[in-house]
Amino acid sequence: MQKKSASTYILFIILLLASIVVVMPFVLMITASLKTSAEINASVFKFFPAKMQFSNYPKAFANSPWGRWFANTIFVTVLATVVSLVTNSMAGFSFARLQFKGRDLLFYSVLLGIMVPPQLTILPTFLIMRGIPLTGGNNLWGQGGTGLIDSYLGLTLPIFAGAFGIFLCRQYFLNFPDSLDDAAEIDGAGVWKRFWAIYVPNSKPLLLSLGILKGTYTWNDYIWPLVVVYSEKMMTVQLGLSRFRDVIINWELLMAATATVMLPLVILFILSQRYFVSGLVTSGMKG
């Protein structure tokens, strides 16, 4: 009993130290956003500001179209999240519950998408987006224009589905008993009705977890918007932060802007963390 108690305390201390390491950068960011420029650049570090400068927050957003950038990011994040939940769940359901020729081979090809670093697919994806026919001034052969570059569809189309989401949905749907499908078929329910009336309603924790993961990824994505966007009106908040840093060197204002950009994700996770954890736990890595 004492040995178990000692190991529990040791584990608690390790987790506490790890939590401090993870949380401390965010705490420093918040405190820096409330300091003056002189306090940040002072040779002697002070954890807390002498007087909290809440005015840094409105100053940070005074000279750039942050309203448009936030609107762009919210629209892209919501659109990509909703569409990806539909496509990933439908693909996962097909791989888990349907029988068709070449199913396993197709699923293994999807798994390759998890193994390939996303940085390697940026250039091919860009060329595909630019060469889509009859878009952005392109002719029937995908030439002469910009395609879907610098557009909402260009920002979201490549992330409408993901190998990891398909894999997670498949593993989750494999846990459903076969008798459920048999009973539904006896009642006259087809594949489409079984998916929407049985599997989707019973997969809310998983779908919520996937939605949080996809939404967080899309909100924080910097590389793909940097590649596909060139106009100010199509920029996202991550590009705005990068431009913000290039324009000014006031670290307190940059920290204020960064904290504001992070706030929606923090609130989302706090409100849904219980469902997020349960969704991942019950996904069930069944082969």
| 151-189 tens-digit pLDDT | 999 999 999 988 999 999 999 999 898 888 888 888 888
120 and 197 in a single domain? The answer is yes
88 and 25 in a single domain? The answer is no
86 and 171 in a single domain? The answer is yes
- Closest by CA to 266, choosing from 192, 228, 215, is 215
Domains identified in the chain, total number: 2
* pLDDT value for 237: 95
34 and 73 in a single domain? The answer is no
* pLDDT value for 285: 46
- Kindly report the pTM of this predicted structure: 0.86
Name residues whose C-beta falls within 8 Å of residue 195's C-beta, 6 or more positions apart in sequence. 89, 90, 93
The parent domain of residue 187 ranges over 64-284
pLDDT digits (tens, 9 = 90+) for 224-276: 999 999 999 999 999 998 877 666 578 888 899 999 999 998 888 888 777 66
48 and 89 in a single domain? The answer is no
CATH code assigned at 190: 1.10.3720.10
Return the amino acid letter for 116: V
Name residues whose C-beta falls within 8 Å of residue 152's C-beta, 6 or more positions apart in sequence. 72, 75, 76, 79, 234
Contact yes or no for 169/88 (Cβ under 8 A):
yes
29 and 128 in a single domain? The answer is no
Spatial separation of the C-alpha atoms in residues 164 and 85, rounded to whole Å: 12
Looking only at Cα atoms, what is the longest distance across the chain? 76
Contact yes or no for 53/35 (Cβ under 8 A):
yes
Is position 59 within any domain?
no
Residue pointed to by tokens 């849904």: 272
272 and 249 in a single domain? The answer is yes
